[in-house]
Chains A and B, each alone.
Chain A
Amino acid sequence: MNKKTILNMKEEISKLFLDNLDMKKLNDLKVEYLGKSGKITELSKGMKDIPNEEKKEFGMLLNELRVLFNNNYESYKEKIETEELNKKLASEEIDVTLPATNIKTGSPNILEHIIEEVEEVFMSMGYDVVDGPEIEEDKYNFELLNIPKGHPARDAQDTFYIEDENILLRSQTSPVQARTMLAAGGNKPIRMICPGKTYRRDADDATHSHQFMQIEGLLIDKNISLSDLKGTFDTIAKKLFGENCVTRFRPSYYQFTEPSVETDISCFVCKGKGCSLCKNTGWITVSGAGMVHPNVLRNCGYDPKEWSGFAFGFGAERLAMLKYGINDIRTFYQTDLRESITFDRKDVE
């Protein structure tokens, strides 16, 4: 072995990796040069014949050979591997436009959707959400609410009676208000809403339903005024129908409120100019309300000299029909999945 052999070898190694090599050839080369009887290994064996004073120099040269080979080998290997991986990845390319796996979530019933929205607004204003029995006593549904037996107000609420005239399917959610007042014992303020199912003897068609949902509410405290009801209704209307919504009160008459009002919102379709939705009036009636009648307060354990309050009621179907442009009340009770699936999303804030 002399220096020339080593230098030749160096040149040889440098050229080796200029060819096109695959993984097998590459590994063959490794064996050819660094294997048990590889060319470099063989050279190393010649070290024993090298005079001691030159051993260090030869050793360094041989090491350079090894490093040279290994560096070339490793970088070539990486090159092949990268190519192979890229080839594999290319072969795995997918069509990202193909349909997704259908991960399903369910939709709420449209009425529940609007009720939850209303509940959210009222809860943020401190109102609790309460429910009560749907099979109800006449006492709670009528008598305590200033609608004694024989009163004409009962005729309009054609009621499903179950047992004589004492047990009935509730014709309004107001009995929950009576129950809440009685439970509070006449000495605590109340803020509550009671969304729930109600029943009246109406033949079902596009605008009537024997079963429907009311969202009634009650606030009892000291020194509550009709202006407070107006302010509360303003807030609700803006949250449900947008910041530009304007409200008005019209005098009206209900048994359990006095004074009573009908509450209108400015038409959100035509902005008050007049359209088919608002029948060219610019206004849409959405709720009945008023100051709780002193008889009702008294009947339910509150002293009208000390306490006052207001009550209001929305029809959930009407709200939903207005807000989402639904024309047929039966929509809510049929659950056509093609329609209801739309409601599996949040609405604009």
Chain B
Amino acid sequence: MISLNWVKDYVDIENEDLNELAVKITKAGVNVERVINSHIDNLVIGEVVECVNHPNSDHLHICKVDIGEKITQIVCGAHNVRKGIKVLVALPGCILPGNNEIKAGSIRGEESNGMICALFELGLEEKTEENYNKGIAEIDTDLLPGTDANIYLGTDDTIYELDVHKHRNNDCYYHIGFAYEIASILSKKVNLPDISHKEDNDNVNNHFKLKVDTDKCPYYTAKMVKNVTIKESPEFIKKRLISAGMRPINNVVDISNYVMLEFGQPLHFFDKDKLGSNILVRLAKENEPIKTLDGVDRVLTTNDIVITDGTKPVCIAGVMGGENTDVDNTTKNILIESAIFDAVSIRYTASRLNLKSEASIRYGKGLNYEYTNMAIERACHLLEKYADATILSGTIIHDTLDKTPKVVSFKTNEVNTLLGITLTDNDVETELNRLMFEYTKENDKFLVTIPNRRLDIDPNVNDIAEEIGRLYGYHNLVSTLPKVETRRGQYIGDVKIRKEISKRLRSLGLNETKTYTLTSPEMANTFKYEDKTQVVLPNPMSIDKSVVRTTIIPSLINVYEYNKARNIKDILLYEISKTYDVNYDEDMKVSMLLKGNYITNEWQHTSIKCDFYTLKGIIENLLNYLGFKNRYTFQKATASEMHPGMTAKILLDREEIGIIGRVHPNYKKDEIYVAELSVTKLYNKQIKPLKFKEATKYPEIIKDVAFVIPNEVESEVIKKQIIKSGGRLLTDVSEFDLYPNIEDNKKSIAYKLTFSDPTRTLTDEEVMNVFNKVISEVTDKCNVKIRD
């Protein structure tokens, strides 16, 4: 929150339209999210000239109030209203917070032309019982009745609410820094505030010894002031703190906050008499205790920086002071600390203790040592002026800070190349002057020193190009396209096979899903058909997203449940996703789920229900499409959560690449079929180039045979033997009939054998010879018999 009244101290914006200025600032890269005008219309200062009790009420008063142009009658219920006091009067037409419009009317029969206000009614104090009991605001002012009360209240201000990117939330979160931004945009200059003050003969070094025992405090300065008077702050300080969203407390505390909002440098005030005569800055000991000024006992770790009195901590550096050295109403002598601490440590400490404050946030972003110095002098200036303080001479300093200025050298041409524009040297000089960056020029080379207040700028030509570019205006860029020779882009690596699989499965009727990689341990441990250990997050957000899955099947089951609950009957799903095991080995997988009908025509009663063989068909179609025809097999298997009699491993070149089967009815009652393949394994296989195979010109001869086979013998075994015995002339074998339980524990399967020769017509006799050989060898070797 930036108060424009405050900014006016440092840069001339008297004649600017503040709404337009907000747009300019936003265009230059600092986003002004909201422009708040705090002025309350029709609110004037009034003087109560007569006050009598309301005849029809035990607590209301009828007041005659001088509002400048006239004397008007107002009914008021406050206990403290009385003749002679100056008050805040909301006249008819005034709109109070909560969109409460004041209207003229009558209260219990008495005319009332407005409202005498309490501060909480104007939104200037919190709505508490305490504030309610205070009654109406009594105003101590020389301003005449009828004067715009906003002048008294400081509510004639404009506030910018900023939404700033991380890089700029350092210099744009205090008024002087923001004044520089405005000055750059408007090509104006910045005036810094008065830091002058008198100094006593007594020197701070007579009272304190400083030792810094950690490299996490590179810069520490302190000054001492004597004989402060603790009282209320002057109006302008209170108003500005309120505008910036801080609550005034007393002059001393308010001055430390005021200076922080000016220079961005947080200060800490110790009560000197409670502190003693030593300051030792060090890292905290493990489990070291401190009671902070909010009265909470806290336990520190060795990552925290503490200020100590030589032995015990008196302040968690940059985060919160200790109760033991806190400034209170009896404080007389103060040690002012203005320091720079390691930003990372401060952020960690503040976030661990959940103590993010205006101060800790600023320490956590890094600070400009020039302002560390100026802020402490400014505080002395204000304490002298508004707290009657005597400033001791001298400053205690610990300084190991690297103050090497950041210098960047570049040519105009380099900026032009980066931005794609055509500035001249003069244009660049103009922009650097606007930015108030110091520079020198040798021939065509600029040497720019980056001011310390811009911690975000690194000495690169890119950073300078950005600063120049944003002031020059990106709307001035002309669109061009990279002048490079082009070819069409490609899918690289396993992206391509992923796309191919995805498209094929979609055309086979499966719908793509996308589910979460992180699952619950419970989910992650179902369908564990592989011997893989999972990655478990050490600090998960919640237990249901704590394990990196090794299989997608449980997630597909969830999607199934979601759709089933929405009354969807046919659910055909797939997902392709990367999975990882505990060694971080990546395995991209494609998972499928089928439930319901594959093809449906209800009124014709012709539907194909999804079963094991439907899913198997989809997988074979996919593998054939990818070029793996005749290289894969399905082998009976078992796996957790899978039907023991309806599950198979899928092998490609004898390597296991996946699983297929029905979900165990104990796990899900519904008839659900699932499968999963390793895309990574498929991707790593070579395939043969596609070739044309001419169809045979000679007639094929087809012979059928059926065998009676023990139930436990798989058809694949018989088929392999048929192929082996059939030799060169047997070009195809396929099952075309199945009779389960034709005999006790036996099934019958019928096979269709196709014979042909690409070079000639076969004779019946030679086919019969081969056919008979097949029958005798199969019955012999597979221990089955031919069916009559």
Task: Name A301-336 residues within 8 Å CB distance of B.
Answer: 308, 332-336
- Find out whether the CB atom of B493 lies under 8 angstroms from the CB atom of A131: yes
The reply to whether B518 and A106 contact each other, CB–CB distance below 8 Å, is: no
Interface string of B461-493 (1 = CB under 8 A from A): 111011001100011011111111011111111
Contact of B616 with A by CB under 8 A? no
Complex alpha-carbon distance, A248 and B490, angstroms: 29
* 8 Å CB interface, B618-672 against A: none
Asked if A235 contacts B470 (CB within 8 A), the reply is no
What is the distance, in angstroms, from B339's C-beta to the closest C-beta of chain A? 19
Q: Judge whether B168 is part of the interface by a CB distance below 8 angstroms.
A: yes
Which residue of A is nearest B470, CB measured?
A251
Closest B residue to A290 by beta carbon equals B466
Segment at the B interface, from A1-9, A84-92, A108-116, A267-275: A108-116
Q: Please report the C-alpha to C-alpha distance between residue A126 and residue B464 in the assembled complex, in whole angstroms.
A: 31
Interface members, chain A 124-144 (any B CB < 8 Å): 124-131, 133-135
Q: Which B residue's beta carbon lies closest to that of A148?
A: B344
Interface string of B388-429 (1 = CB under 8 A from A): 000000000000000000000000000001111100000000
Q: Which residues of A contact B495 (CB under 8 A)?
A: 129-131
Contact partners of A227 in chain B: CB under 8 A: 419-421, 477-480
Q: Measured between C-beta atoms, what is the minimum distance from A165 to chain B in Å?
A: 11
Given A161-B539, A167-B584, A252-B165: A230 in contact with B490 (beta carbons within 8 A): no
Surface stretch bound by B, among A36-44, A75-83, A95-103: A95-103
Q: In the complex, A130→B168 CA distance in Å?
A: 33
Which A-chain residue is minimally distant from B478 (CB atoms)? A227
Contact of A248 among B347, B475, B509, B548 (CB under 8 A): B475
Instruction: Tell me the interface secondary structure of chain A in the complex.
Output: mixed
Chain B residues within 8 Å of A346, by CB? none
Cβ of B573 within 8 Å of any chain A Cβ, yes or no, is yes
Chain A residues near B731: list those with CB within 8 A. Answer: none
> Is A203 part of the binding interface, using a Cβ–Cβ cutoff of 8 Å?
yes
Choose one: A107, A231, A248; the contact of B481 (CB below 8 Å): A231
Whether a CB of chain A sits under 8 angstroms from the CB of B291 is: no
B597: nearest residue on chain A (CB-CB)? A102
Binding-face segment, B120-128, B142-150, B563-571, B703-711: B563-571
Residues of A within 8 A of B508 (CB): 105-106
Who on chain B is nearest to A308 by CB? Answer: B418
Contact indicator B344/A105 (Cβ below 8 Å)? no
Q: Is A253 touching B166 in the complex (CB atoms < 8 A)?
A: yes
User: For the complex, what is the distance from the CA of A36 to the CA of B568, rounded to whole Å?
Assistant: 72
Within 8 Å CB of A251, what residues of B? 27-29, 466, 469-470, 474
Total A-B residue contacts, Cβ distance less than 8 Å: 257
Give the CA-CA distance A155 to B346 in the complex, in Å: 13
Which of these binds chain A: B294-302, B499-507, B721-729, B752-760?
Answer: B499-507
- Return the CB mask of A153-179 against B: 1 if under 8 Å, else 0: 101100011110001010000000000
B342-357, CB < 8 A from A: 343-344, 347
Which of A13-21, A24-32, A49-57, A216-224 lies on the face that meets chain B?
A216-224
Chain A residues with CB under 8 A of B168:
253
- Asked if A124 and B488 sit within 8 Å, CB to CB, the answer is yes
Return chain B residues, CB-CB under 8 Å to A128. 489-492
In the assembled complex, the CB of B589 is this many whole angstroms from the nearest CB of chain A, namely 13
Chain B interface, number of residues (Cβ within 8 angstroms): 96
Residues on A with C-beta less than 8 A from B462 are 258-259, 291, 293-294
Pick from A98, A109, A135, A203: contact of B535, CB below 8 A: A135
**B486 touching A258 by the CB < 8 A rule?**
no
CB 8 Å contact bits of B294-335 with A (1 = contact, 0 = none): 000000000000000000000000000000000000000000
Interface residues of B in 507-560 (CB under 8 A from A): 507-518, 535, 537-541, 545, 548, 559
Chain B CB within 8 A of A239 CB: no
Residues on B with C-beta less than 8 A from A240 are none
**A230 vs B481: C-alpha distance in the bound complex, in angstroms?**
8
Q: Are B601 and A99 in contact (CB under 8 A)?
A: yes
Minimum distance in angstroms from A222 CB to a CB of chain B = 9
Q: Beyond A197-B517, A338-B566, is A226–B494 a contact (Cβ under 8 Å)?
A: no
Q: Cβ of A265 < 8 Å from any Cβ of B? A: no
Complex CA–CA separation, A336 to B505 (angstroms): 18
CB pair A225 B419 closer than 8 Å:
yes
Q: How far is the CB of B465 from chain A (nearest CB, A)?
A: 6
A172-200 residues at the B interface, CB under 8 angstroms: 189, 191-193, 197, 199
Contact among B461, B480, B517, B599 with A102 in the assembled complex (CB-CB below 8 Å) = B599
Q: Given A131-B494, A199-B517, A231-B480, are A152 and B347 neighbors across the interface (CB < 8 Å)?
A: yes
The residues of A with any CB-CB pair to B shorter than 8 Å are 98-109, 111-112, 116, 122-131, 133-135, 150, 152-153, 155-156, 160-163, 167, 169, 189, 191-193, 197, 199, 201, 203, 210-211, 219, 221, 223-228, 230-232, 234-235, 248-253, 258-261, 291, 293-295, 308, 332-338, 340-341, 344
19 residue pairs from A and B, CB less than 8 Å apart: A102-B599, A102-B600, A104-B572, A122-B489, A126-B486, A126-B488, A129-B491, A133-B578, A133-B586, A135-B580, A150-B343, A230-B477, A230-B478, A230-B480, A253-B166, A258-B462, A258-B465, A259-B465, A336-B566
User: Lowest 3 CB-CB distances: which A-B pairs, in order?
Assistant: A227-B420, A225-B420, A251-B29
Chain B residues within 8 Å of A, Cβ to Cβ: 26-29, 165-168, 343-344, 347, 364-365, 417-421, 456, 458, 460-463, 465-466, 469-470, 474-475, 477-484, 486-495, 499, 502, 505-518, 535, 537-541, 545, 548, 559, 562-563, 566, 568, 570-574, 577-578, 580, 584, 586, 597-604, 606
